[in-house]
Amino acid sequence: MKTAITAAHLITPEDWIDSPVVVVEDGHIAAVANRAALEIPAGARHIDLPGLILAPGLIDIHIHGGAGHDVMETNDAALAAIESHMVMHGVTSYLPTTVTAPEDTILSALEHLGKAVKAPRSQHRARALGIHLEGPFISHAKRGVHPPENLRQPSTELLDRFWQASQGTIQMMTIASELPGALETISRGRKLGIRASLGHSNATIEEARAGVAAGASHATHTFNAMRPLDHRDPGILGTVLLDDALTADIIADGIHVDPSVVELFLRAKGEERAILITDAISATGMPEGKYRLGPFVVEVKDGRCDYQGKLAGSVLTLDRAVRNVMSFAGWKLQKAVRLATLNPARLLGVDGERGLLARGRVADMVALTPEGCIRHTILAGEIAGS
């Protein structure tokens, strides 16, 4: 049966349509246009969302957990809870993100997550598109809360073991390009289809440029766990902010990065190369207290996630990040939404399926207020929770 979804407006986010009709068939968009140009098909089920704005489903490429659970827990119930919580905040697809841990722990997590990526989509839950491997190929100097005893020098052999454990589902890898073996590992990852992201790095500008030359195409949580920008020693940030070959993401919670620096980042990378992430941990959506991030326990208070005096992930949600961009930088909703939809979809090479509301795409979308508040999340044409 066909479903016709109507609302006040639709953003693609490259276009704006008033009084839209989105026709869905078999979980995909069959047609989208203004009501003057597209009639609701006879016999179609009609979902009307008056006063709301339809936009593509949000995509989070860096998330460790939520709803009291961590993605490295190797049980299906934990992942189900995380994915259901994300849907409440408009996230329809994501990359479960690992942390540095003993090798066997990482391998077990990758095996479990790889099976989840390959499994059929579960109803009313966000869809895992692949895995983001954050650690163990990161700098001791900029490791953040990643346990130093489990860090490893980049190695094509170890990357191959991770790849095999994941059943070929690793999509991204955060790596410090200054480490011995990093350039070869970035190159090997590129051949496997893994996007290398510069991060947790103390690289000079030359070492960061070498990473880009080897195949790195992105940067992880810009400013955090990176060599600071200095006017005589620009370091990795000089490359991240200036190189148009790199997309880059940021944690726009106002805690990890000051709002004025978020605005600076957005001016540097622009609306086509900036991406919003949450870096959310198991505490997201939960009361203050102690929660797990991979192998260690983090204390959460006043919106901060701390481990031994260092920030350890966030409790940010991606819809809040979009609204923060509107507040911090004065961006319109249409422009801000792009940073959590089309841009991550293009980075992952899935913009033919996601990130736009257009014919042939998966019918994952959100219904928003003009202020960017989620009212409904729609998965494959079905309102989640209905």
State yes or no: pLDDT of 26 exceeds 90.
yes
Structural domains of the chain sorted by starting position, each given as residue range(s) with its CATH number in brackets:
3-55+360-383 (2.30.40.10), 58-348 (3.20.20.140)
Whole-angstrom Cα distance, residue 180 to residue 339? 33
Tens digits of per-residue pLDDT, 32-45? 999 999 989 999 99
pLDDT over 90 at 12, yes or no: no
Smallest CA-to-CA distance from 17 within 356, 345, 325 is with 356
Q: Quick one: pLDDT at residue 122? A: 82
**Residue ranges of the alpha helices (H) in the chain?**
76-88, 103-118, 156-165, 182-192, 205-214, 235-242, 259-273, 318-329, 333-338, 342-348
Q: What's the confidence (pLDDT) of residue 10? A: 98
Model confidence pLDDT, tens digit, residues 46-101:
999 999 999 999 999 999 999 999 999 999 999 999 999 999 999 999 999 999 99
CB 359 within 8 A of CB 30: yes
Residue 316's contacts (CB-CB under 8 Å, 6 or more residues apart) are: 251, 252, 253, 278, 279, 280, 284
Mean pLDDT in the chain? 96
pLDDT band at 270 (very low <50, low <70, confident <90, very high): very high
Question: Among residues 60, 279, 319, 351, which one is catalytic?
Answer: 279
Q: What's the confidence (pLDDT) of residue 123?
A: 80
pLDDT bucket at 335, cuts 50 / 70 / 90: very high
Output the pLDDT for position 386. Answer: 66
CA distance 320 to 323: 5
pLDDT of residue 353: 97
Structure pTM?
0.97
Say if residue 233's pLDDT is above 80: yes
The CA-based diameter of the chain, rounded to the nearest angstrom, is 67
Q: pLDDT, tens digit, for every residue of 157-214? A: 999 999 999 999 999 999 999 999 999 999 999 999 999 999 999 999 999 999 999 9
Q: How confident is the model at residue 295 (pLDDT cuts 50, 70, 90)?
A: confident
Bridge partners of residue 378, in order along the sequence: 365, 383
pLDDT at 214: 98
Catalytic, 279? Answer yes
Please compute the mean of the pLDDT values over residues 333-338 and round it to a whole number: 97
The 10 Å Cβ neighbour count of residue 13 is 23
Tens digit of pLDDT for each residue in 96-131? 999 999 999 999 999 999 999 999 988 889 999 999
What percentage of the chain reaches a pLDDT higher than 90? 92
